[in-house]
Structures are given as C-alpha cells and as structure tokens.
Amino acid sequence: MNTIQERIRDRAARLNRTLVFPEGREKRIVVAAKKIKELGIADVILLGNINSINEYDLPKNLEILYPENCDFFGKLKDRFLTINQEKNLDIDEPEVFMKNTLNFGALMVEQGYADGCVCGAVTSSSDVIKAAIKLIGMSESSELVSSSFLMTSPNGDKSYTFADCGVVPNPTVEQLVTIAYDSTQTHEKLTEQKPKIGFLSYSTKGSANHVMVDKVRKAATLFLDTYPEYKSDGELQFDAAIIPSVAEVKAPDSPLKGEANVLIFPDLDAGNLGYKIAQRFGRFKAWGPLLQGLNKPMMDLSRSCSVDDIVDIAAICAILRT
C-alpha cells in the first residue's frame, strides 16, 4: 500500500467523522461503504431505497436513510426553503428537490448531520458542483470552486498537488491565485508538508512571451505579493519546477530550487492532461477531483472510480473537514 495512503487512512480513522453517500444504490458505493466501516475510517450514511441497498451484505451498524422517511426531513426542508429564498434559486417544487438524494446529502452536511459528502460515481461533476454551491455554500476565504488532484508516486515517496484539473476552464489571473491558495491549503492538510507553489507555463522566466505566459507570470507575482509566507515562483516549465538540476540551469534564482510540490496549471486543458499523463504513463496514484472553496467538504468522484478510490476519497474528505 502507498505510504501516504496508509497515513491518510489512519489519520481519518482518528477523527471519528460521519460521511454521507447520496448514491447509495450504486454497487461500488455500497461495497466501499462496507470497507470504510470495517477499516474504521468513518461512520457512513447511505442514502437510497433500503430494500435495494439491503441486497448487499452490509454491517448491521451501517446507517441507511431514505430522504422522505427521515426524522429530520422536515427540518432540512425548512432550511432549504430559507436558502431558496435567500439565494433566489427559484426552485418551484421544494418537496421534489429535497427527495433528490444528492440535494439531501448536501443539506445534511450544511446542517451538520454529516461532516462531508462523497458522490460522483454516477452523477455528473456539474450536478455535484451545483448542489454544493447552492446548498453547502462557499467558504469565507474563497469565491471560487476549483479542484485539485493529490498525486503520489508509485512507491509513495513523493506527493504533489495538481490544480485545477477539473473545474475552471480558463482561469483569470485572480482565479489562478485563488486556485493556488486553496490548493496550498489542501496539500498541507493532506500531506502535512510545507507547500512550495510553482505556476506552470511553457516558458521559464521569460524564455517565451505570449499572452498565456503573461497571465501565469502575473498570477505568480500576485500570489507572492498576497501570500509571502509561502515559497512560490513562476512562470516555470514543468521540469524547472520539480527537478533541481534543471532548475539550476533554467531558473537558478528560483526560491523553489526545483522542489515545487503544488503545481498550478495555466488552464483546464493543461491540468487535466497533466494529471492523466502522470497517472497513466508515470503510474502515479491520482486522488480527486477534490473540490475546493466550499464551506464544508463535498467530494466529486470520477465516474470511473474503483472501490479503493472511493475509500481513499472518503478518508480525504474526513481530513479536509478539519
């Protein structure tokens, strides 16, 4: 097992979190829930029809809820009516909206009935993000939902955070700074390492000039001015950001010295391609997309996720609640 995987699972188990899974009828979710419970990673609440879920051999102490039969359905419905009015959501059928397990799970987190929500195995990312923004809301320090991937090497000796790889298509300078800051917080919580932030480009320190390079350069400067407590630099090519010998040649004055561990990509194309190349060619473990910027954690699984992926994302969700 990957060493960081062991540490994350062990840390999650000590937190005694409760996680809700809106896709309770999906077989991978049910099997993962059983494993999460058996490993002591978190308490689990499955949302869905109890008869269909009970087809599986589940631990007796695993909680299964069907929204309209839940004791606190009325309380969450009242809370939703308030949110609907305050945010001008204009949702005409609150009863139907609340019976949707995705919406119900998000409201459970918002109201403290669960510490985090894990979904996305059969639900689109756009639906997950919409529910999260509407019902859980944004954190006080962020006005942007973005995502990151925790990337760990095959032998578990190195870990990196890649962002944004799943949400913001073409971030502005200010959005890149927000993505970088939120990714820094995610990285530090999960790895317990000091973040070193590299803003990536096809140019290193003026080796090329283009509007795309200018954006990265300006974002790196703004981040440094705003968060001088972190080591950061840009614009840097990928190799100059992570390989010390290359950094000596291409960016000898860089404070990162080729040791960046939080890598901020210029746009979604680059980020998404980058993490998949590392995953498929480099055989790095890719955990994510991890949604950032929310008031409380709601994780968006890949629809190709395995049972072990779900278990690990659940452990990450528990840690990110801190």
The verdict on 230 and 257 lying in the same domain is yes
Q: In this predicted structure, what is the pLDDT of residue 58?
A: 66
Determine the Cα–Cα distance for residues 151 and 193; give it in Å rounded to an integer: 14
Q: In this predicted structure, what is the pLDDT of residue 53?
A: 63
Q: Within a domain: residue 293? A: no
The verdict on 185 and 124 lying in the same domain is no
68 secondary structure, DSSP code: G
The verdict on 122 and 17 lying in the same domain is yes
Q: Within a domain: residue 291? A: no
Name the β-bridge partners of 149: 162
The verdict on 36 and 154 lying in the same domain is no
Q: Within a domain: residue 241? A: yes
CATH number at residue 273: 3.40.50.10750
Q: Within a domain: residue 297? A: no
Neighbours of 282 (CB within 10 A): 11
Q: In this predicted structure, what is the pLDDT of residue 302?
A: 85
DSSP secondary structure string for all residues of 261-279: -EEE-SSHHHHHHHHHHHH
**pLDDT per position in the chain (322 positions), as tens?**
558 888 999 999 999 999 999 998 888 999 999 999 999 999 999 998 766 666 666 666 678 888 888 888 888 888 988 888 888 887 778 778 888 899 999 999 999 999 999 999 999 999 999 999 999 999 988 889 999 999 999 887 789 999 999 999 999 999 999 999 999 999 999 999 999 999 999 999 988 888 899 999 999 999 999 999 999 998 999 999 999 999 999 999 999 999 999 999 999 999 999 999 999 999 999 998 999 999 999 999 988 889 999 999 999 999 998 7
CATH number at residue 119: 3.40.50.10950
The verdict on 118 and 216 lying in the same domain is no
Token couple for 8: 């994350």
The verdict on 229 and 187 lying in the same domain is yes
The verdict on 12 and 133 lying in the same domain is yes
Determine the Cα–Cα distance for residues 111 and 3; give it in Å rounded to an integer: 34
The verdict on 7 and 97 lying in the same domain is yes
Q: Within a domain: residue 290? A: no
Residue 235 preceded by cis peptide, ω within 30: yes
Range of the domain at 276: 146-280
Question: pTM here?
Answer: 0.90
Q: How many angstroms separate the Cα of 190 from the Cα of each of 100, 165, 316?
A: 31, 18, 7
Domain count, the chain: 2
The verdict on 114 and 180 lying in the same domain is no
